Amino acid sequence: MITYNVEGVRMPAIKKRATNAWIRAVAASHGRRVGEVGYMFVDDEKILEVNNEYLGHNYYTDVITFDYDEDDVINGDIVISLDTVRSNAELFGKTYDDELHRVIIHGILHLCGIDDKGPGERELMEAAENRALALLSDMQRQGRGSQPRSGLLYPSSMKRQFLPILLAAFLAASGVQAQPSAKGPEWLSRAIFYQIYPSSFQDSDGNGIGDLPGIISRLDYIQSLGVNALWLNPVYESGWFDGGYDIIDFYRIDPRFGTNSDMVRLIDEAHKRGLRVCLDLVAGHPSDRCWWFVESATADPNSRYSDYYIWPDSISADEREQIRLRHASAHPASDTRGHYVESPYPRARYYMKNYFECQPALNYGYAHPDPSRPWEQAVTAPGPQAVRRELRNIMAFWFDKGIDGFRVDMASSLVKNDPDRSAIRQLWQEMRQWRDSHYPHCALIAEWANPAMSIPAGFDVDFFMHFNRPGYPSLFFDRDTPAGSRSPFEYSYFNRNGRGRIDQFIDNFSECYRLTRDRGYIGLPTANHDFQRLRAGSRNTPDQLRVAMTFLLTMPGIPFVYYGDEIGMRYQPDAPDVEGATDRAGSRTPMQWEPGPTAGFSTCAVDSLYLPVSTDGGLLTVRAQEADPRSLLHYVRHLLRLRRDVPALANEAGWTLLSDKMRPYPMVYRRSTADDVCIVAVNPSAASVSASIPTLSAPVEAIAQSGKVKYKRGATTDRIVMGPVSAVVYRLSRP
């Protein structure tokens, strides 16, 4: 019997019946029969532990074989690290599947008596592997699992050898991948996301910082909200100069959060509850402490990472002045001016950064390289192509552990000197084709803030948010909020004074909706880790938040609820600058679970908290709002239940503005399918207002309401009369 098990990883997508037939055929070619053979797929941490405990070796490897031979019957256990399979496949230019199947058969060849330790034995093992893979191809041509026409392909006198590289695959060739729809994975049509900033959600070990076991302990609560997908901000090993966005190792969970095995457990527990899990992918830059950068800085032309970065020998006078100004500032390390950093390394005089000095830009190439500047490599050059392979490798590594997608940080900024974004669009179209072929059920979510460009470029979802276009900021950012003087808007739409406008939002949103409706989804966040929370400035009462949530959770596309917004957590303008957060720290404070000095987030002392908490006397906590049926938490749950159960409020249902965009209060829109219609009206202002809409064909029922609202029917037009700070969702009665 041949069995397959996993520990700390997801089961690889192998065709077990065909693989078993192949293994038996290879064993038969050596005059051996297969008895009890067990495969265990693990991660690097586990195989290092096994190597240490049983073999006394303190290093990573790809495969370890335990031989329990009985005469001509092979029996044994074969431990395979999928992490090393993945990295070696990329290193040696093989596909993951090819590398995996070479390692699978490598273990069988060991059990058949082929060694790789003595003189000349490595070559014998490699030849045996190649013949086994040729046998596999022969079996595929004749039909899966059939026996080869030829007799024994191997001389029985061969000895064992160990090959410290991995190569293997036939499964992708032998199976047909399911093809996604034009809009990507089908589950996105029902997706409702909950964003978690991991350092601030739940601390399980009392050190004042959130972690993965803490998130696992709160999955039942998350499920109770009515969301069905999670997006976690970066959890990889980091230098923690920019809140986790300066990554040291993309393949390892940061110890502050746990281990790779903890991540697999989180994924498994989330999936048991019907929750998808998406991670943050910081595609543009790692930390300057990442080993890629350290090796690239050595100027060794033979280094695998030699051209992973951009190393100019000279820069313009303007750029040198930006460096001078940055160094003269009060905090030069966190000053983002300019594009270059003076290099202390032997490689070159400068390196290109993306944001902070500790975030060197990865080399995805230049759309229009200057021939006089040899460090400006074309996107087709070996260095930029190697970086693309690394990006695919990172995604595949975590997809194989079971995650359901990535949110890609600053997705439009990878290729340099690309004014029309044609090169970056081509890059993501290639990534989309790769995703469709290998992981069609995993999502790609862009932080591009231009769905009209990012969705055709290959993404499934893009955010409508706080940069690139004025639409979203015009709703929520004004000079009475933490945006302050930086906001171009004196008053936002969701300000009580009723002096905001919606025409810019309607124009921006309508264009994106029209261009992307049949190809992807607009993501509409309640807030996120980079900008102010919904409860900010004078927008600080439950009725105001209910009105804003009514809008955000009934629009088309995919809603993203930022952790704590469901209970109205307040933006904390005086939060200390922790780990490069600057004024963003006010949106990253610990989740407020219950009254008390640490709000149920941690058992640590108050002065050990990652960031301070303020629960407004315990009112802004989950415990208090669970007990109050009129709370914002209960209202948000109700809206999300409607979004799930009412077809007209679903992600893909139609959307039409019914009110006049130049008379913004109230805003009224229609959501509809072929046989279901809802009318949504919101009035954030402190004044009573009304709007006329075409007479509806059937009576309406208010299925969600905050504040005083009346619906008045007329012969040719109907009127919605709304009291101050009110919102309503009407549903047309159906026969």
pLDDT at 143: 58
Query: Residue 240 and residue 580: Cα distance in Å, rounded?
Result: 8
Average of per-residue pLDDT across 279-300: 95
Look up the CATH number of domain 2-174.
Answer: 3.40.390.30
Average of per-residue pLDDT across 63-81: 86
Range of weakest confidence among 9-18, 62-71, 372-381: 62-71
Alpha-carbon separation of residue 215 from 258, 427, 605 (angstroms): 11, 34, 20
Alpha helices in 218-344 (DSSP H): 219-225, 260-272, 291-296, 317-328
Query: Residue 626 and residue 566: Cα distance in Å, rounded?
Result: 11
Q: Which residue has the higher pLDDT, 403 or 466?
A: 403
Highest mean pLDDT among 40-49, 81-90, 330-339, 367-376: 367-376
Please spell the DSSP secondary structure of 16-31, one letter per residue.
HHHHHHHHHHHHHHTT
Residue 108 tokens, joined? 């069988």
Average of per-residue pLDDT across 110-126: 75
| Average confidence score pLDDT of the chain | 90
**What one-letter code names the amino acid at 501?**
R
**DSSP letter (8 states) at residue 587:** G
pLDDT band at 457; cut points 50, 70, 90 = very high
Please spell the DSSP secondary structure of 608-674, one letter per residue.
GSSS----TTTTSSHHHHHT-TTSHHHHHHHHHHHHHH-GGGSTTSEEEE-S-TTS-SSEEEEEEET
Residue 70: pLDDT above 70?
A: no
> What are the pLDDT digits (tens) for 158-213?
222 222 222 223 222 223 233 345 789 999 999 999 999 999 999 999 999 999 99
527 neighbors 534 (Cβ within 8 angstroms): yes
**DSSP letter (8 states) at residue 487:** -
Quick one: which H or E segment has residue 472?
A: helix 471-476
pLDDT at 56: 79
Kindly list the domain boundaries of the chain, sorted by start residue: 2-174, 192-279+394-487+517-640
Identical topology for domains 2-174 and 192-279+394-487+517-640? no
Average of per-residue pLDDT across 24-36: 85
Report the percentage of the chain scoring pLDDT > 90. 73
3-class secondary-structure state, position 463: strand
pLDDT at 177: 33
Residue 144: pLDDT above 60?
A: no
Beta pairing class for 276-281 and 229-232: parallel
321 neighbors 403 (Cβ within 8 angstroms): no
Report the chain's C-alpha Rg in angstroms: 29
pLDDT at 650: 98
pLDDT at 183: 81
> What are the pLDDT digits (tens) for 639-667?
999 999 999 999 999 999 999 999 999 99
Range of weakest confidence among 20-34, 369-383, 582-596: 20-34
pLDDT at 131: 86
Q: 192-279+394-487+517-640 sits in which CATH class?
A: alpha beta
**DSSP letter (8 states) at residue 218:** T
Range of weakest confidence among 22-36, 334-348, 434-448, 612-626: 22-36
pLDDT at 120: 58
Between the CA atoms of 575, 580, 583 and 585, what dihedral angle is there, to the nearest 10 degrees? -40
Selection from 542, 565, 556, 554 nearest residue 726 by Cα:
542
pLDDT at 168: 28
pLDDT band at 735; cut points 50, 70, 90 = low
Residue 323 phi/psi, 5° resolution?
A: -65, -45
> What are the pLDDT digits (tens) for 6-26?
998 889 988 888 899 899 889
pLDDT band at 72; cut points 50, 70, 90 = confident
360 neighbors 293 (Cβ within 8 angstroms): yes
Range of weakest confidence among 65-69, 90-94, 101-105, 414-418: 90-94
Beta bridge partners of 639: none
> What are the pLDDT digits (tens) for 491-539?
899 999 999 999 999 999 999 999 898 899 999 999 999 999 999 988 9
Query: Residue 238 and residue 151: Cα distance in Å, rounded?
Result: 55
Residue 325: pLDDT above 70?
A: yes
Between the CA atoms of 459, 463, 467 and 471, what dihedral angle is there, to the nearest 10 degrees? 120
pLDDT band at 117; cut points 50, 70, 90 = low
